[in-house]
Structure 1
């Protein structure tokens, strides 16, 4: 959802919020979730918890990429459990979420395979630590996954499009006792699932909505991201920047699908 994320400086605080927070650099999550207005503005008023202290080593443009992309990646990797020594397939490894998910999986000790849609996006994914990329437009994904894993399939999949990724499972892309974590789908109606494959391979499906994380998961993601930012362990990709007055151009850039990385708005 656009206009959910952002970063800036606290200008005023309400009752019950320490005045010491005025002037604090922060990043924002769920800025427009269940609200008519969001972060595409000069000012936004939010509950205190939704303004998270930003380490001085991270600039505002990078911080504006955290709320949905980085937190989604954080929760997806968290739901996989211990991935040290395992192989993880990141669907859309050059996407905003996928770029963070690949980095977090590598930090967690996994070997990452990523699907991409072009040579440029492959280079971007490799820069995040992905070991091998698969061009889903020109290569049979399940077949390539099996070739890369000696026929076994990957241990886990981080999935941005459940409606297409679920079709890879009957062809052995996910190893027995593997886990698919999904955070989106291009088809939000009913999606058939290969029940026999899921059952006889003991496959786990995990889903979540980043806007509606359980409080304990939200706090864990915030802590993990804060630690990683403070230690300079995450790279961020701002693919394009627009002035607030050119917000239409920013939306058109996102819709074009040509920008590699996040599109952010700069305030005057």
Structure 2
């Protein structure tokens, strides 16, 4: 089979297309024939390493956490899946050398989720990290809920910063599905249009509008939860527009980046700061997220593509390095890799 492999960390040039043997699934494992692999910022950051030069890996590694395809074989003890089932995958490369940038991936069955017959592989490969991160952000308040469902956020207002990103897109869609009023911020007119297509009730251009004044006028009591992609830049205004007892969920950072917390102001509002790395949330939190995302997907609440506010940029498997570069350079929307054509 064809696979993208890297044997040392470094620039995207370390990614090489190779022929590899196809492995049979062991106990509790499923082998999936990949149609599409999704690329996330953590994929290129893991491949790049520390930035202090190349580091030779103990064993070769296939990149990328997310993907979608068809079950090819199941190992002993696996129930609920059979050959031919359409599925989406999450956290494939976390703690493993097996990523989704290859024609076949053998993964633990817990990381394999049914994909509805009427849903595209593109959508399946776009879930994973973005949707599971968004779910944790939206459920990080001490006031609950622990699991999103229709109506679970009714009466709440959520602010999503950077509304045209993959996690932000998922947060907007999940929050709306759960009944919240959603406000989002963007930096230009194109992103404004994308955030509206995703379902945001109100979109603010932070370059031309006073976000604090606009939010305080619309929601005098303050927003319940803020899903923040750039806390170092936004924290001061976040504190001003958050309601007492509200939560600021922070899920993104650059290496070495830090944030200054206004302590007294945060104390006065009893603010909760929730830092999120989806890989290391508890098993229970991850299971709630997978279940809720699956339910929202089945309800048609999670959609991708330009018409739904998340443009797709595609690369063939052999150009995975270019796909990683596109994500690193901030391509708007979702970057996908076409691994192999499947019906």
**TM over 0.5: same fold?**
yes
Query: SS state of the match for residue 105, structure 1?
Result: helix
Q: Which residue of 2 aligns with 1:110?
A: 180
Q: 1:142 aligns with which of 200, 203, 212?
A: 212
Pairwise CA RMSD: 2.0
CA–CA distance in structure 1, aligned partners of residues 224 and 290 of structure 2: 26
CA–CA distance in structure 1, aligned partners of residues 76 and 174 of structure 2: 37
CA–CA distance in structure 1, aligned partners of residues 81 and 123 of structure 2: 24
Does 1:223 find its partner at 2:295?
A: no
CA–CA distance in structure 2, aligned partners of residues 246 and 189 of structure 1: 30
Q: 2:190 aligns with which of 114, 120, 126?
A: 120
CA–CA distance in structure 2, aligned partners of residues 47 and 107 of structure 1: 29
Query: SS state of the match for residue 176, structure 1?
Result: strand
Query: SS state of the match for residue 105, structure 2?
Result: coil
Q: Which residue of 1 aligns with 2:160?
A: 90
Deviation at 1:208, TM superposition (A): 2.4
CA–CA distance in structure 2, aligned partners of residues 229 and 189 of structure 1: 34
CA–CA distance in structure 1, aligned partners of residues 223 and 180 of structure 2: 11
Deviation at 1:18, TM superposition (A): 4.4
The structure richer in strand per residue is 2
TM-score (norm 1): 0.90
The structure richer in helix per residue is 1
CA–CA distance in structure 2, aligned partners of residues 8 and 66 of structure 1: 13
Does 1:133 find its partner at 2:203?
A: yes
Q: For the pair shown, which has the larger CA radius of gyration, 1 or 2? A: 2
Unaligned runs of 5+ in 2: 1-41, 44-63, 145-151, 306-310
- Tell me if the contact between 1:243 and 1:265 (Cα under 8 Å) persists in the aligned partners: yes
TM-score (norm 2): 0.72
Alignment of 1:15-34 (within 5 A): 15-18=76-79, 21-34=82-95
Q: 1:256 aligns with which of 329, 337, 341?
A: 329
Aligned residues: 265
Q: 1:112-157 CA distances to partner (integer Å, 9 max, x unpaired)?
A: 110112111111111122122122333343333223334x432221
Query: SS state of the match for residue 74, structure 2?
Result: coil
